[in-house]
Amino acid sequence: METSIISATYTWAQFIPEFTLVGLASLILLADCFLPKLPKSCYALLAAVGAVATAFFMDSEVSLGQFRMLAVIATALTVLLAYDYRQVICASISGDDSEEGSTELYALPLIACAGICALTQAKDIIMLFVSLEVVTLSSYVLAGYFRRNQGSIEAGVKYLILGAMSTGLLVFGSAWYYGMTGSFMLNADVVTNVFFGTEPALSVGFMMAMALLLAGAFFKTGTAPMHIWIPDVYQGAPTPVSAFLAVASKTAGFAVLCMLLFPFAELQVTPIMQCLVILTAITLLIGNLGAIGQTNAKRLLGYSSIAQAGFIMVFLINSTGEVAQTQVANYLTAYLLSTMAAFYAIAMVRTQRGSEELSAFRALGKTNPVIAFLITVAFASLAGVPLTYGFIVKFDSFCALVNAYSVWSSSCWLTTLLVIMVIGATAGFYYYFKVIREMYWEKPQAELKPLNVPMVTAGVMAGCVILLIALGTWPLLTGNM
């Protein structure tokens, strides 16, 4: 009976974009086998164009439709980043200039993107779990893709071990969920029947199920205590993969959180909201304070990812489902634009200066002033500097917390979180501006030459920065703050 209800919930037509992405990935892999002399970089361009093309078949008006669009855009930008990063990719895979073995790096993000898109349409635990595992299994391979690089192998192993633990939590939580509700469906009626039913014991078991499911989702979002993999994996994984995990994987995680927490929006289940406040506070402290001492740019963005997850979590505290989804999607949009521009800059510096340390950005303000300006705007947006979109969404995060005071009976929880948010935002100005200090204030060394900026990198970074400034200033100009 339950199986028939689930199968009747979906139609084949609604998964056309997902089938298209998987089909395109399969076509690329087959072409690599039967057309070995074709340049591998052609597959990167084909994958990027194909990913963007699928966006036109997606309905952005449906629930979580914005998350699907973000996943597709992040995937296209990831593949384009791999295209510009292919010099390092070839050296790390084959040890020479040969592109042999690089095709999978262009195909696997498409498969992971299909999983994210299917996940956003999930209405039951089974579809949610299967879709999330498609993303996770693809990410395992991508994280350890550089078989000649010890850091990449270590990143893949760590991600695999901790990811397996999160999968176990999801499976166990799904079993508890079905046992307490008698259904795999994710809707408010199921939650209402449990909490306001005749057997109080069921509500206790249901809370256990939700705790396990949320822990599995926290692994993807980088929320404490499931955050420990992020700095090491971001640093060791190939830079395009780190960008994909930072944006697309986080989008998938917050889509899952929105689906799991949506039924509680109207019920105001206090224990769950209190737990969210505690975890949000811990996440903000770990992310912001951990980033202060970092000298590696990718590792810094890893801790930044944890910190940004804390600010996004605020929207899920005592906010109605649709409002929370829109706010989270807006924040993820700003995060995508800033983070992708930052990772493109890191990849360019790594390719030409051979390092991902912050010191490798030294004197870019003198050698490449335009690129230095683009990097400055990207990191300023992450910090929440006014006139950038990052400021708008971070301001919205503070407003969401202030609005929650009207709902909570005790405001001490929210006051504590507000203080921590202020501390975190202040710390962000310090560690994000470490990159800017290296570009403008550190003395240039004689051997540092101007970077040769690839066309794709220049175009993507310029596009992201223009959008960050336009979206950051438009509300101020129109008075719609």
User: Rounded to the nearest 5°, which phi and psi values hold at 448?
Assistant: -80, 120
Q: Is the pLDDT of residue 198 over 60?
A: no
Q: Over pLDDT 70: what percentage of the chain?
A: 88
The overall average pLDDT reported for the chain is: 85
Sequential DSSP letters for 345-377? HHHHHHHHHS--BGGGGTTHHHH-HHHHHHHHH
Give the residue from 424, 241, 448 showing the smallest Cα distance to 346.
241
Burial class from Cβ neighbours inside 10 Å (0-12, 13-18, 19+) for residue 367 reads middle
For range 373-390, the mean pLDDT: 94
For range 462-474, the mean pLDDT: 93
The predicted-structure confidence for 384-400, as pLDDT tens digits, reads as follows: 999 999 999 999 999 98
Higher-pLDDT residue of 388 and 264 is: 388
Helix axes 250-261, 125-143, angle to 10 degrees: 160
Q: Is the pLDDT of residue 370 over 60?
A: yes
- pLDDT-derived band of residue 98, with 50, 70 and 90 as boundaries? low
Rounded CA separation 412/170 (Å): 32
Q: Is the pLDDT of residue 304 over 90?
A: yes
Give the residue from 91, 103, 124 showing the smallest Cα distance to 27.
103
Note the pLDDT of residue 35.
81
The predicted-structure confidence for 63-94, as pLDDT tens digits, reads as follows: 677 888 999 999 999 999 988 887 777 777 76
Note the pLDDT of residue 1.
47
Cα dihedral sign, 311-313-316-317 = negative
The predicted-structure confidence for 205-239, as pLDDT tens digits, reads as follows: 788 888 889 888 898 898 988 888 999 999 988 89
Token pair, residue 396, equals 């919205």
Q: Is the pLDDT of residue 105 over 50?
A: yes
For range 184-193, the mean pLDDT: 73
Q: Is the pLDDT of residue 121 over 50?
A: yes
